[in-house]
């Protein structure tokens, strides 16, 4: 079994953008200590936005923000 941070590290290279943690079995076996461990370890799981976007995606996001900015200026 892998902890959340290790699973995420391995899954992201295969295209995963999110993971869902189900504490049911961990809490059944380890109780509150297991729940606290899952929470503390889950905090370590962060994926930088640039790891999830290609250069084309980054361009599209920048283009969309520029459009929204122009629209906001036009509407006053």
Taking only the tens place, the pLDDT of each residue in 20-76 is 777 888 889 999 998 888 888 877 776 555 555 556 666 676 777 777 778 878 876
pLDDT score at 20: 78
Tell me what the mean pLDDT of segment 2-28 comes to.
81
Domain ranges for the chain, please list them.
1-45, 52-76
User: What is residue 36's three-state secondary structure?
Assistant: helix
Burial (0-12, 13-18, 19+ Cβ within 10 Å), 70: exposed
pLDDT score at 51: 53
pLDDT score at 23: 81
pLDDT score at 33: 92
pLDDT score at 70: 82
């Amino acid at each position: 079994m892998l902890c959340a941070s290790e699973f995420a590290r391995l899954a992201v290279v295969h295209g995963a953008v999110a993971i869902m943690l189900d504490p049911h079995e961990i809490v059944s076996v380890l109780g509150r200590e297991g729940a606290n461990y899952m929470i503390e370890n889950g905090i370590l799981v962060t994926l930088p936005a640039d790891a999830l976007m290609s250069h084309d995606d980054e361009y599209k996001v920048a283009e969309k923000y520029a459009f929204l900015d122009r629209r906001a200026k036009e509407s006053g």
